[in-house]
């Protein structure tokens, strides 16, 4: 019997390079089928043909099936551990810090890090790179605009210092933007930049198969400089930290052997 879902993922990979077979099937298949139902295409092969003939349709599809939920200071206790334990340690190593928000969505995590590093490093240099597979969301991250709901956990003092009220929400000030760069990147396909002092990869690999998740964690471990840190999401863990030379040091935080 033919499996139209497998044929669809194979065709999409040929078309875009995006490999949906590395995402948990149940969840992804439900999202795709319900998306297709709302479109004029009746079947997955028909929908794949439509995607092949329209870049706009393709971008819209990828934007809808990736889950972009985020907010600034999401899981504040995790940022507090970074602020009180990890950043002081990184600060001691001197030099300009290189931080990667992997699967950054519309940038809430990267802008949070920028606020925090600007506060804690007191003028020290740092660069934050945010990357995501979704083109539209990367463009949104570059704008640096956040809704009231995105900002609900931001301390008032930080909000006033780094954001201007704008268009019913908040616009990040140039002071933050100068430290941030966003790029399109597929964690399942692209080669990772190396030499990171700290990588945050939170709430991204939860949608991947176990094998893909472990591969991403191992790839990130390799991309860290010795002594660098990886923080995963508040419901996640690295299956085999030792395989990547990592050691768990704080809740959800791993350190690469120096």
Segment near ligand SAM (CB under 6 A), from 143-151, 160-168, 186-194, 223-231? 186-194
Q: Is 223 in the site for ligand SAM (CB under 6 A)?
A: no
Q: How far is the CB of 2 from ligand SAM (least distance, A)?
A: 26
CB contact at 8 A, 250 and 83: no
Kindly tell me which residue out of 12, 87, 204, 253 binds ligand SAM, with binding defined by CB under 6 A: 204
With respect to ligand SAM, which residue has the nearer C-beta, 2 or 62? 62
Neighbours of 70 (CB within 10 A): 22
Structure tokens at 134: 């979704």
Per DSSP, the residues of 12-64 read HHHHHS--GGGB-HHHHHHHHHHHHHTSS--SHHHHHHHHHH-HHHHHHHHHH
User: Cβ contacts of residue 9 below 8 Å, gap of 6+?
Assistant: 19, 20, 21
With respect to ligand SAM, which residue has the nearer C-beta, 36 or 204? 204
Long-range contact set of residues 30-39: C-beta below 8 Å, sequence gap at least 24 = 31/64, 31/65, 32/5, 32/8, 32/65, 35/61, 35/64, 35/65
Q: Is 48 in the site for ligand SAM (CB under 6 A)?
A: no
Q: How far is the CB of 114 from ligand SAM (least distance, A)?
A: 14
Kindly tell me which residue out of 44, 58, 61, 66 binds ligand SAM, with binding defined by CB under 6 A: 66
CB contact at 8 A, 213 and 235: no
How are beta strands 180-184 and 126-132 bridged, if at all? parallel
Long-range contact set of residues 238-247: C-beta below 8 Å, sequence gap at least 24 = 239/210, 239/213, 239/214, 240/214, 243/218, 244/217, 244/218, 244/220, 245/221, 246/221
Kindly tell me which residue out of 28, 115, 187, 220 binds ligand SAM, with binding defined by CB under 6 A: 187
With respect to ligand SAM, which residue has the nearer C-beta, 66 or 223? 66
Q: How far is the CB of 94 from ligand SAM (least distance, A)?
A: 28
Site map 125..164 versus ligand SAM, x via CB under 6 A: -------xxx--x---------------------------
Q: Measured between alpha carbons, how far is 102 from 177 in angstroms, rounded to an integer?
A: 18
With respect to ligand SAM, which residue has the nearer C-beta, 187 or 246? 187
Q: Is 78 in the site for ligand SAM (CB under 6 A)?
A: no
Q: How far is the CB of 210 from ligand SAM (least distance, A)?
A: 15
Q: Is 198 in the site for ligand SAM (CB under 6 A)?
A: no
Q: How far is the CB of 178 from ligand SAM (least distance, A)?
A: 22
For residue 73, which phi and psi values (nearest 5 degrees)? 50, 40
Q: How far is the CB of 40 from ligand SAM (least distance, A)?
A: 25
Q: Which residues bind ligand SAM (CB under 6 A)?
A: 66-70, 74, 103-105, 108-109, 132-134, 137, 185-188, 202-204, 233
């Amino acid at each position: 019997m033919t499996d139209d879902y497998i044929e669809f993922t194979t065709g999409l990979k040929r078309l875009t390079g995006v490999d949906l077979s590395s995402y948990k099937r149940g969840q992804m298949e439900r999202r795709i089928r319900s998306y297709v139902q709302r479109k004029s295409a009746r079947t997955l092969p028909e929908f794949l043909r439509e995607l092949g003939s329209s870049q706009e349709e393709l971008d819209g599809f990828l934007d809808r099936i990736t889950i972009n939920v985020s907010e600034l200071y999401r899981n504040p206790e995790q940022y507090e551990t970074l602020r009180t334990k990890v950043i002081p340690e990184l600060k001691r190593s001197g030099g300009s810090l290189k931080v990667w928000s992997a699967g950054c969505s519309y940038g809430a995590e990267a802008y949070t890090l920028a606020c925090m590093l600007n506060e804690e490093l007191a003028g020290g240099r740092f660069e934050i790179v945010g990357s995501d597979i979704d083109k539209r969301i990367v463009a949104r991250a570059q704008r640096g605009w956040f809704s009231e709901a995105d900002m609900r956990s931001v301390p008032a003092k930080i909000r006033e210092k780094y954001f201007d009220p704008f268009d019913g929400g908040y616009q990040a000030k140039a002071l933050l933007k100068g430290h941030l760069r966003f790029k399109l990147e597929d964690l399942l396909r692209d080669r990772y930049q190396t030499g990171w002092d700290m990588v945050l990869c939170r709430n991204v690999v939860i949608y991947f198969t176990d094998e893909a998740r472990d591969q991403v964690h191992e790839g990130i471990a390799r991309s860290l400089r010795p002594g660098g840190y990886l923080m995963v999401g508040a419901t996640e863990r690295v299956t085999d930290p030792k395989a990547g030379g990592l050691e768990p040091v704080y809740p959800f935080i791993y350190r690469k052997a120096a």
